Amino acid sequence: MTGFLAACALSPQARVTKSDHDRFFDSVSKLCGQAFAGKMVTDHPMDADLKGKAMIMHVRSCTADTIKIPLHVEDDRSRTWVLTRKAGGAEAGIELKHDHRHADGTEDEVTQYGGRTLTPGTATRQEFPADAFSKALFERIGRPNSSLNTWGMEIGPGKRFIYEVTRPNRHVRFEFDLSQKISAPPPPWGTPSVDQKAPQPSR
C-alpha cells in the first residue's frame, strides 16, 4: 500500500513528457563537438556552384537552448546554422537561423534568415517555414521566390543528418554521414578558435 501511495504522489508531476521538438533538439545536442562529412545529393541548375563540393557540418557550440552548427563548403567557412529552442505557449518550438559572414567576420547582406516550427514535427524531423523577417529580406534583395522557402532538418542518430530547402519547383538536399566522425574543421569566419587566449592586460 505504501508503494502504491508513493507512486500516486509522484503523479502527474513526475511524468514529464517531452515534446517532439525537445526530442529532436536533444538528439542534435548529443552530436556536440563532433564533425561529419557530407555532400549535396540533389541536382538543380541553381545549385551548380555546390555540385560535387566536399561539405562538413560541425556541431560546434551547444547550450541548453541554442546549438550552432557551422557548415563548411570546402574552404568557404561563411555559413552557420543556429537552432534555438523556444519555450512557452504559442511560442514553443525551434527556430532556425542562417548566420552568413564574410572572411573578415562582418555579416553578409543576406543573413539571419530562417523560420520557426509551426507544427509539432517528429523526434527525427523538423521543418521551418520562412518567417516575416526572412520574407521581407528576400523581397528587399530581389529574391521573392525565396519567401516560399521551407527549411528542413532530419536526424537518424548514428546514420545520417539531412538539411534541405524546398519551395515550388525547387529542392536542395545535403546529407551528412553520422556513422563516422571526422576531425573538427577550423572555426567559421568571425568566430575565434576555442583555444584562442584573451588579450592580457598591459602592466
Q: Nearest CA to 104 among 142, 133, 141, 77?
A: 77
d(CA 83, CA 101): 17
Least confident of 58-62, 89-93, 117-121: 89-93
Asked whether the beta carbons of 93 and 118 are under 8 A apart, the reply is yes
Task: Convert the pLDDT of each residue in 153-164 to its tens digit.
Answer: 999 999 999 999
Residue 93 pairs in a beta bridge with 86
Which amino acid is residue 32, in one-letter code? C
Asked whether the beta carbons of 152 and 166 are under 8 A apart, the reply is yes
Residue 164 pairs in a beta bridge with 152, 173
> Is it the case that residue 178 has pLDDT exceeding 60?
yes
Task: Convert the pLDDT of each residue in 46-88 to its tens digit.
Answer: 899 999 999 999 999 999 999 999 999 999 999 999 999 998 7
Asked whether the beta carbons of 161 and 26 are under 8 A apart, the reply is no
d(CA 178, CA 157): 7
| The pLDDT of residue 113 | 98
pTM of the model: 0.86
Record the cell numbers describing residue 174, joined without a space: 545535403
d(CA 165, CA 148): 10
